[in-house]
A = this chain, B = another copy of it.
Amino acid sequence: MSHNTGNDKKPTLLIALGGNALIQKGQEGSIAQQFENLRISIRQIASLISDYRIIITHGNGPQVGNLMLQQESCDTVPKLPLEILVAQTQGQIGYMIESVLDESLMEQGADFNPLVSLITYVVVDEKDSAFTNPTKPIGPFFTAIKAEKLDYPTIETPKGFRRVVASPKPVTIIEKREIERLIESGFIVICCGGGGIPVVRNGRAFNGVDAVIDKDLVSALLATEIGADLLVIATDVEGVLTDFNTPDERLISQMRLDEARDFLSSNKSGKGSMGPKVEAALKFVQSGGKRAVITSIEAICDGVQRTAGTQIINE
């Protein structure tokens, strides 16, 4: 796979799409809405293919939650373990992203770009401390009475009881060698949906486990494992904000590694989901990545061009 083509000189860009790329705040999340929303990010990504090799990863929170809700409502078919539900959402969302990207590339009049959406599973460590203390709430809300009858741990939230699962750290992406070869051969690759299907080693085999892996941490790990140049984490805010929810709130347009570490060790991340994103960006850059960007779904291209979002740089 080492033959030289023009493609070989392009830097590799991994874009992690947040849940709002598919379902925006307040929406019910019909499939028509999800397709329409996807066009916002995917058209931008399509415009980047002449300059970058592209890998796309994505979340699956609402989609896997809906599958859990559906199977809780139905007693006549065997319940599926969480790992299988994650696999199902990889099929669903992988198809949706691939077909919207196909359409956007055709609109642009692009030449044939080989494009694949891959099932991906990710090894976690069964000794990860996350398994002894599951903390990640997922899926539907239950009454206290119903929650007592469930086979799995729950926590009480203001809206009711919710299942909690472990969110262990990703160790390695099983398909990393395949993804690397595909990227080298000029393929656009969609993968690691929902953080990947979590598996643990069992001798020479792998067994699925009930867990969810943070999709930004998996994206950072994949970007490192395949030697990507740039990691873009696209989400529902314009970037990392300081003095969040105060009159002084403002975008941090650039963070050096030490500043990112300070951000994580202080409480500046507040109660939002920015902590894992900064952690993922930091891990990627300190492992050799050139640059990570945390930006909004609407400003992916601007983030790549350093005119939007928070740039995490290796300085």
Contacts and interface: CB of A to CB of B under 8 A. Distances in A.
Interface stretch (A107-115, A126-134, A287-295): A107-115
Interface string A97-129: 011001100110000101111110100000000
Contact of A81 (B31, B78, B199): B31
Contacts of A69: 74, 76-77
Interface stretch (A82-90, A154-162, A163-171): A82-90
Contact of A106 (B96, B182, B204): B204
A181 B83 CA distance: 30
Number of copies of this chain that the complex holds? 2
Interface residues of A, number: 61
B205 A115 contact: no
Interface stretch (A172-180, A211-219, A233-241, A246-254): A172-180
A94 B95 contact: no
A74 B73 CA distance: 6
Interface of A: 1, 3, 28-31, 66-67, 69-74, 76-78, 80-81, 83-84, 87-92, 94-96, 98-99, 102-103, 106-107, 112, 114-119, 121, 140, 174-175, 177-178, 181-182, 185, 187, 190, 193, 197, 199, 204-206, 208
10 contacts: A31-B81, A87-B91, A89-B91, A91-B92, A94-B119, A95-B197, A98-B119, A98-B121, A103-B206, A106-B204
